[in-house]
Structure 1
Amino acid sequence: MRAAVLTRFGTPLTVRETPDPEALGGEVVVQVLAACVPPYAVDVFSGRRNYPLRPPVIPGVGGIGRVVGVGPDATRLRAGDLVWCDCTVRSRDDALTPDITLQGWSSRGDGGARLARHLHDGSFAEFMRVPTENVYPLPAEAAKDPARWSALGVYVIPYGGLLAGELHAGETLLVSGATGNLGSAAVAAALAMGAGRVVAPGRNRAVLGLLADRFGPRVRPVELTGDETTDRTAMSAAAGGPIDMVLDLLPPAAPSSVARAAAMTVREYGRVVLMGGVGMLGGADLALPYPWIMRNSVTVRGQWMYPRSGNVGMIRLIAAGVLDLGPERVRSFPLDAANEAVEYAAAHGGPFDRTVLTPPAA
């Protein structure tokens, strides 16, 4: 098969012939039809993000495909089934604290690194090998536009944060980092789940206007000034009432003061979920006042990625039409143009912009 291979950090991907993957027990081989290229892929491949990838590696974070072959333990999947392949692989020998690797992308700790050595390669290829439990059947309508449906891999990440924070219909949510690629997806997912209002702070006035135009009065945009006290007051005022939950999806370059200003708008007994990259590039860590957390009974939790059930929930939201992929701006590239796709994704990483590799001829 042909695949886009990262031979070493700081060099372009090499599209070349590689051995076809073979499924072992508990695994499925899938023909890849569409795989999203994250806007920050250029930072991963250059080494700037210092991800624990071990070149040579076929990168890629999940995708849409058709089942080619299944193992004997698969009772419902069949060859030819259209499926979503989730990149979030969990070890099977610890139900409480499983090790995790993002197949073809990243991992967590020594155990995650061991998983990554076994499930080394991702979706930037004609075929990929995936654990059986990471394959999810898609509705028939997804076959009409697999590239557009591959955006569910973007939406399911903030959806995991919304599930972790137990967002309820009618509640008011603040999305810190709402003008980014994942933050804007969080706004859409929250509204699809029935959020009453979503406060959307950011510095980009044009993107704030885009969110307001697309989603109407349930979205309350707030243009940030950079002054922590001023911004916290403005966000609280925009909510028009108590803020039940804050979801932070700020990128690594964002200062911790922005995350703190957003988090401290949450009401007494409210919830704060941290999913962003604050502090990953150095700088001040997030410092929330102990007395404020304790006396206001605020719940603060981290969430990396999403539970397995999040994949099913996201597929259902899209299939039902309550999360509409129609407005997505999708640009597809064939596998041989993988480097052009990476460059394009870096330059088009705004809300609802999707760059997709389509390994069969585009």
Structure 2
Amino acid sequence: MRTYRLAAPGSEKPIEPGTEERPVPGPAQLLVRTRAAALNRRDLMITTGRYPLPSRPGVVPLSDGAGEVVEAGADVTRFRAGDRVTASYWPRWISGQLRPDLLDQLGCTVDGWLAEYVLLDEAAAVAVPGHLTWAEAAALPCAGVTAWNALTRSGLLTAGQTVLTLGTGDVSLFAVQLAKLMGCRVITTTSSAAKADRLKALGADEVVDYVANPDWSGEVRRLTGGAGADLVVETQGPATIGQSLRAAATYAQICLLWVVSARPETLVITEDDLSGSLATIRREFVGSRTDLEALCRAVEAGGLRPVVDRAFAFDDAAEAYASFRDDAGFGKVVIEL
């Protein structure tokens, strides 16, 4: 089979193609023919050594993918040949809280999806919603689960409340779609009129131009009659955390999804940011297999379709990395087989 592996540091390209023997599944494993794989920001960070979790040298990249089971081990009970599956970002984290002994990640410490065939432990696999294309299904495990948990983990968000999302990154787009699916009012920010139209087509009720409105938190307050947003999916921090706090309702939840930058940054919160606020700030780091299963149920019930921006052939995987790094898009970058 054809495959890619992480290149050595300093290589001209981040990944190297190769040919290997097709793997044979163990008793509790699935052999899956990859149909599509999707890129996330962490995949670029892994190639530059900036990802917080050290990667295994020469690992098969990419945490996100989807494919068809071609062979199941003798002890497998949950799946059979022909089933359409994806896999949990943390393949050994099934439910509950993330523990230090569960820190393996696909495409980082264990082989991921950028190969014609992948081995998955049965416990990591999840059936994908039937209405999705392979590319759409491949988009779910990282950004989709992160957005799902940002909205649902606290258990406090209810229909009719206001959700604020920032920008048009993959997590933000999922958050817009899922919040609307949950019956919420969605306000989002962007700097592009064209993207504003696309955000509204996805379900955003109001779009705030943060270039025209540098004090965009004040505009969010105005749009909510002074009340503020009940939940903020904060994907632009730490630089924007002050405005997110000022845009938030008194008892709001702020899910801070830290963006790792080229240089260390400091979280700065002033007295003005906290004035009158009793908001709770929390973090998310994707989620468990149980969270992915819950997301898939919601996606199937609501007919939600993840946004795919551009697709590359398997032979052009290095170009997909370059495009993802250099070209601002609207939706997922995927590699199709």
**TM surpasses 0.5:** yes
Asked if residue 287 in structure 1 is aligned to residue 269 in structure 2, the reply is yes
1:129-183 CA distance string (max 9 Å, x none): 22222211234444xx3123322233222112112243221110111x3322321
Alpha-carbon distance between aligned partners in 2 of 1:322 and 1:288, rounded to the nearest angstrom = 42
Please name the residue that 2:322 is paired with.
Answer: 343
The two structures, once aligned, show a CA RMSD in angstroms of 3.1
Counterparts in 2 of 1:129-278, with a 5 A limit? 129-142=119-132, 145-153=133-141, 154-166=143-155, 167-175=157-165, 177-195=166-184, 197-215=185-203, 218-225=204-211, 230-240=215-225, 241-250=227-236, 256-277=238-259
Shift of the 259–137 alpha-carbon distance from structure 1 to 2, 3 Å rule, reads same
Alpha-carbon distance between aligned partners in 2 of 1:288 and 1:90, rounded to the nearest angstrom = 40
Alpha-carbon distance between aligned partners in 1 of 2:253 and 2:67, rounded to the nearest angstrom = 37
1:185-209 CA distance string (max 9 Å, x none): 21122112221x1121233443233
1:97-139 CA distance string (max 9 Å, x none): 353232113xxxxxxxxxx2xxx21000011122222211234
Please name the residue that 1:102 is paired with.
Answer: 105
Q: TM-score, normalised by structure 1?
A: 0.79
When structure 1 is superposed on structure 2, of 316-325 and 333-342 the one drifting more is 316-325
Alpha-carbon distance between aligned partners in 2 of 1:49 and 1:282, rounded to the nearest angstrom = 13
Tell me which amino acid in the other structure corresponds to 1:29: L
Please name the residue that 1:2 is paired with.
Answer: 2
State whether residues 128 and 137 of structure 2, in contact with CA within 8 Å, keep that contact through their aligned partners in structure 1.
no
Shift of 1:278: 5.6
Q: TM-score, normalised by structure 2?
A: 0.85
State whether residues 160 and 307 of structure 1, in contact with CA within 8 Å, keep that contact through their aligned partners in structure 2.
no
> Counterpart of 2:104 in 1: which secondary structure?
strand
Alpha-carbon distance between aligned partners in 1 of 2:56 and 2:70, rounded to the nearest angstrom = 27
In structure 1, list runs of 5 or more residues that go unmatched. 106-115
Alpha-carbon distance between aligned partners in 1 of 2:144 and 2:183, rounded to the nearest angstrom = 15
Shift of the 247–136 alpha-carbon distance from structure 1 to 2, 3 Å rule, reads same
In structure 2, list runs of 5 or more residues that go unmatched. none
Please name the residue that 2:55 is paired with.
Answer: 53
Alpha-carbon distance between aligned partners in 1 of 2:301 and 2:151, rounded to the nearest angstrom = 19
Shift of 1:81: 1.1
When structure 1 is superposed on structure 2, of 72-81 and 272-281 the one drifting more is 272-281
Shift of 1:92: 7.6
Tell me which amino acid in the other structure corresponds to 2:330: P
Shift of the 266–83 alpha-carbon distance from structure 1 to 2, 3 Å rule, reads same
Please name the residue that 1:113 is paired with.
Answer: none
1:76-100 CA distance string (max 9 Å, x none): 3112211122222235899673532
Alpha-carbon distance between aligned partners in 1 of 2:263 and 2:154, rounded to the nearest angstrom = 26
Equivalent residues, number: 331
Alpha-carbon distance between aligned partners in 2 of 1:318 and 1:91, rounded to the nearest angstrom = 21
Shift of the 220–149 alpha-carbon distance from structure 1 to 2, 3 Å rule, reads same
Please name the residue that 2:282 is paired with.
Answer: 301
When structure 1 is superposed on structure 2, of 93-102 and 79-88 the one drifting more is 93-102
Alpha-carbon distance between aligned partners in 2 of 1:146 and 1:91, rounded to the nearest angstrom = 24
Shift of 1:211: 1.1
Alpha-carbon distance between aligned partners in 2 of 1:179 and 1:139, rounded to the nearest angstrom = 24
Tell me which amino acid in the other structure corresponds to 1:87: Y
Please name the residue that 2:334 is paired with.
Answer: 356
Shift of 1:267: 1.6
Asked if residue 38 in structure 1 is aligned to residue 33 in structure 2, the reply is no
Alignment equivalent of 1:16, drawn from 11, 18, 24: 18
Overall identity of the aligned pairs, in %: 24
